[in-house]
Amino acid sequence: MVDDGNDHALELEQHLGFQRRLLWVRRTGNVLLIAGLLAALAGAFGAGGPLSQAGATAEAVEARFPRFARYRGPARLEVEVRTPAVAGDTFSLAIGGEHARQFTIERITPEPERMASTDGVLELTFAVAPGEFQSVTLEGRPESMGSMSGTVAVDGRPPLPIETFVYP
């Protein structure tokens, strides 16, 4: 071959600063994607998992409620009352705060003997069933987004705080 003096090599600029920034953006995106996936699997977005449920306990009552819920999606509040701590043949369950005002109740199991709502507190009266514990389940849907704070109390005892974050 004859060398005619023309060098036809392809000249490219490397832009090392841009390549480093692009690599950092990709790595950060991958880390955020994996963190979001792990949070979803753990229940941080309200669909099961160890983070999705919370609980509160006092002397005679235990409440289990969703830590995360969806706006107008199904949610369940479960309250368990120690029946030996209840005086008489009925007990009163009081639900206060935003859980009483911003939560549409669709079903209560067992059915209460009496229901009353005063000053933003929903009061349900139940007959005491035989056994060591009595479970009450309220199923419904949150009607507001954001943080919902409320309380659950049995027979005038100190209330248990319940907190749910409602996603859109």
Residue 98 has pLDDT above 70, yes or no: yes
Q: Which pLDDT score, from 0 to 100, does residue 6 have?
A: 61
The model carries a pTM of: 0.71
Give the pLDDT band (50/70/90) at residue 138.
very high
Give the pLDDT band (50/70/90) at residue 3.
low
Contact 109, 164 (CB under 8 A): no
Q: What is the mean pLDDT of residues 15-40?
A: 89
CA-based torsion, 27, 29, 34, 38: positive or negative: positive
Residue 20 phi/psi, 5° resolution? -65, -45
Mean pLDDT of all residues belonging to the chain? 84
Side-chain half-sphere CA neighbours of 98 within 13 A: 15
Give the pLDDT band (50/70/90) at residue 32.
very high
